[in-house]
Amino acid sequence: MARLCFDYGHGGEDSGACYKGRKESNDVLSIGKAVAAEVRRHGVTVDETRISDATVSLQARSNFENRNTYDYFISFHRNAFQPEQAKGVETYTYLNGGSKSKGLAEKIQAGLVALGFVNRGVKETNFHVLRETKAPAVLVEIGFIDNSEDNNLFDNKRNEIIRGVAKAILENIGIDYTEASASTQSENRQTLYRVMAGSYSVRENAENQVQKLKAAGFDATIMIFNK
């Protein structure tokens, strides 16, 4: 079965690019782990260079990859330039990268562009994690963190991004993507716990309590129960 190495850029003391309180290190850790979970659901082994907000050097990342044999090394990042001046996605391979890395990069790029990101193309570069890793390697910049439009796409189309990148990876290793079953989707739903702040026999008293809660910043409403 295929084995992949996922690398989530930056982390710990290195936040990467930041904009309006948003950190690249947090964004890529969150989205990357979600893609890993989606790929694992198809029976693929995914190892990760970090699984928390930890500082990991570039050398430690490539050393981690070099300790095992992987089908692909995939590094997740977000871009930055000048606030609100640049946008879009771009995917990198090493200089004169082979057909495997180029093919995966093109599939990932196409999947993200289909979601509305500006197409900045597949490019070649001399990044450490592309140069010093043994497996075919790609690095994807999922939009600009200092661009509000890209951030809206990143947030509002999060699930589509996860599926799109997962589909591209699975296609490149010869595995058909299947949607999660209803039971799996149910397990992934967020559980919320509602708190009752009292019961009143007089509606006016209930309405007064609702107003107090709303004034304090709580989501409050009246629910009617018949004894």
Token reading at 216: 């304090």
For residues 207 and 163, give the distance between their C-alpha atoms in angstroms, rounded to a whole number.
Answer: 44
Tens of pLDDT, residues 4-39: 999 999 999 999 999 999 999 999 999 999 999 999
Mean pLDDT of 129-136: 98
The label of the residue with tokens 């690019």 reads: 17
State yes or no: pLDDT of 188 exceeds 80. Answer: no
The pLDDT, as a whole number, for residue 211 is 78
CA distances from 58 to 14, 50, 130 (A): 11, 12, 10
**Rg (the chain; Cα; Å):** 22
Quick one: pLDDT at residue 181?
A: 74
Q: Per-residue confidence at 199, pLDDT binned at 50, 70, 90?
A: confident
The predicted pLDDT at position 97 comes to 86
Instruction: Output the DSSP codes for the chain.
Output: --EEEEEE--BTTB--SEETTEEHHHHHHHHHHHHHHHHHTTT-EEEES-SSS----HHHHHHHHHTS--SEEEEEEEE-SSTTT---EEEEEETT--HHHHHHHHHHHHHHHTTT--EEEEEEE--HHHHS-SS-EEEEEEEETT-HHHHHHHHHTHHHHHHHHHHHHHHHTT----PPPHHHHHHHSPP---------SSHHHHHHHHHHHHHTT----------
pLDDT at 113: 98
Q: List the strands of the sheet with 45-48, edge to edge.
A: 45-48, 3-8, 72-79, 137-144, 89-94, 119-125
**For the chain, which domains are there?**
3-172 (3.40.630.40), 192-227 (no CATH)
Residue indicated by tokens 């095992």: 68
The larger pLDDT score, comparing residue 183 to residue 144, is at 144
DSSP code per residue over 175-190: ----PPPHHHHHHHSP
pLDDT at residue number 148 = 98
The confidence score (pLDDT) of residue 37 equals 97
